[in-house]
Amino acid sequence: MAAGRDAVRMSDEEIASFLASQLKVQVATLGPEGWPHLTTLFYVYDEGQIAWWTYARSQKVLNLRRDPRLSVLVESGDDYDQLRGVSMQGTARLVEDYDSIATIGAAVVSAMAGGVDLGELGDQIVAAQATKRVGVVFEPTRVMSWDHTKMSAPPGPKGGTHEGQG
């Protein structure tokens, strides 16, 4: 039986399934003075990549133009034994052609709507925003993961288990 970090590490398939099931990513870029600039964005996971769109004049885009390195975190769970997450380091590829930005934007808008095709309304939202935004495709170089649902609770008094302990 694996111990420690190995016991909670996700497989590649589990990571892909987890990333595909979530909506929000925390993104840390490097600000002009070297301090982390942290934001949360809605994203899509497609063909093994995380992508989002954001305003072209945002601080995170200015940071990425200067230094494309970033860290991202996707996590879930409210109690210790429910915590799951994927933390990655890598680089950003900025997407600046309208059609590609609109494609990313349409996927993000659909994901935010629960996967529902919003039809003409969705097209209008994307068309109104795509000229102001850039797409970002995250290219990971290091991936760390954890899934505390894989842990069994430690034995409690008289052979029972502790509930809600973390």
Q: What is the DSSP letter of 82?
A: G
Residue 164 has pLDDT above 70, yes or no: no
CA distance 136 to 84: 24
CA distance 17 to 39: 23
Model confidence pLDDT, tens digit, residues 19-77: 999 999 999 999 999 999 999 999 999 888 999 999 999 999 999 999 999 999 999 99
Model confidence pLDDT, tens digit, residues 95-122: 999 999 999 999 998 898 787 776 787 7
The sign one gets for the Cα dihedral 49, 52, 53, 55 is negative
Predicted pLDDT of residue 1: 40
Tally of CB atoms within 10 A around 147: 21
Predicted pLDDT of residue 25: 98
pTM of the predicted structure, to 2 decimals = 0.83
CA distance 103 to 81: 37
